[in-house]
A and B are shown apart, each in its own frame.
Chain A
Amino acid sequence: MRPVSSWGRLSAELHEVVVLQDPKRAATQIACGLAGIAYGNGRSYGDVCLNPNGILWQTRGLDHFIAFDPETGLLQCEAGVLLRDIQRLVIPRGWMLPVTPGTQLITVGGAIANDVHGKNHHALGSFGDHVRRLQLARTDGELIECGPDLKPDWFDATVGGLGLTGVIVHAEIQLRRVPGPWLETETVPYTSLEEFFALADGSEAGWEHTVSWIDCLAGETGRGLFMRGNTALANDRTAPQGRKLTMPLVPPVSLVNRLSLRPFNLAYFQLKKRQTGRTLAHYESFFYPLDNLLEWNRMYGPKGFYQYQSVVPREVGQDATAAMLREISRSGEGSFLAVLKTFGERQPRGMLSFPRPGVTLALDFPNRGEQSHKLFERLDAIVREASGRLYPAKDARMPRELFEAGYPRLQEFLRYRDPGISSALSRRLMGY
Chain B
Amino acid sequence: MAEHCARLWLKDQVDLTLVGRDASRIERVAADLKVRSPGSVIRAVESEFLDPARIRDTVGLIASEGAVDVVLIAHGSLPVQENCQQDLAACREALEVNGISPVLFAEAFAAQMAKQSRGTLALIGSVAGDRGRKSNYVYGAAKGLVTRYAQGLQHRFAGSGVRVVLIKPGPTDTPMTAHLKSQGARMAPVESVAQQIVAAVEAGKATTYVPGKWAAIMMVIRHLPGFVFNKMNI
Contacts and interface: CB of A to CB of B under 8 A. Distances in A.
Interface of A: 2-3, 16-19, 21-24, 61, 64-68, 70, 77, 89
Contact of A66 (B32, B175, B182, B184): B32
Interface in B154-179: 175, 178
B118 interface: no
Contacts of A70: 38
Contacts of B92: none
6 contacts: A22-B28, A61-B178, A65-B35, A66-B32, A68-B35, A77-B35
Contact of B35 (A2, A22, A66): A66
Contacts of B28: 22-23, 64
Contacts, number: 38
Query: Secondary structure at chain B's binding surface: helix, strand, loop or mixed?
Result: helix
- Chain B: number of interface residues, binned into ranges: 10 to 19
A64 B178 CA distance: 17
A65 B38 CA distance: 12
Contacts of B178: 19, 21, 61
B64 interface: no
A27 B191 CA distance: 27
A3 B36 CA distance: 34
B43 interface: no
Query: Secondary structure at chain A's binding surface: helix, strand, loop or mixed?
Result: strand
Nearest to B25: A22
A37 to B, nearest CB: 15
B32 A2 contact: no
Contacts of A77: 35
Interface in B21-35: 24-25, 28-29, 31-32, 35
Given A61-B178, A65-B36, A89-B36, A2 B184 contact: yes
B175 A18 contact: no
B7 to A, nearest CB: 10
Contacts of A2: 182-184
B181 A64 contact: no
Nearest to B30: A64
B35 A89 contact: yes
A65 B175 contact: no
A64 B32 contact: yes
B15 to A, nearest CB: 20
Interface string B181-196: 1111000000000000
Contacts of A24: 24
A83 B32 CA distance: 15
Nearest to B184: A2
A64 B25 contact: no
A67 B35 contact: yes
A21 B175 contact: yes
Contacts of B184: 2-3
Contacts of A3: 184
B4 to A, nearest CB: 10
A17 B32 CA distance: 25
A24 B183 CA distance: 25
Interface string B29-49: 101100110100000000000
Contact of A61 (B38, B175, B183): B175
Nearest to A66: B31
Contacts of A68: 35
Nearest to A89: B36
Contacts of A21: 175, 178
A232 to B, nearest CB: 26
A86 B31 CA distance: 15
A68 B36 CA distance: 9
B182 A17 contact: yes
B73 to A, nearest CB: 21
A64 B31 contact: yes
Interface centre among A3, A24, A61, A64, by most chain B C-beta atoms within 10 angstroms, is: A64
B29 A64 contact: yes
Given A24-B24, A66-B35, 20 more contacts: A2-B182, A2-B183, A2-B184, A3-B184, A16-B182, A17-B181, A18-B182, A19-B178, A19-B181, A19-B182, A21-B178, A61-B175, A61-B178, A64-B29, A65-B35, A65-B36, A66-B31, A67-B35, A68-B35, A89-B35
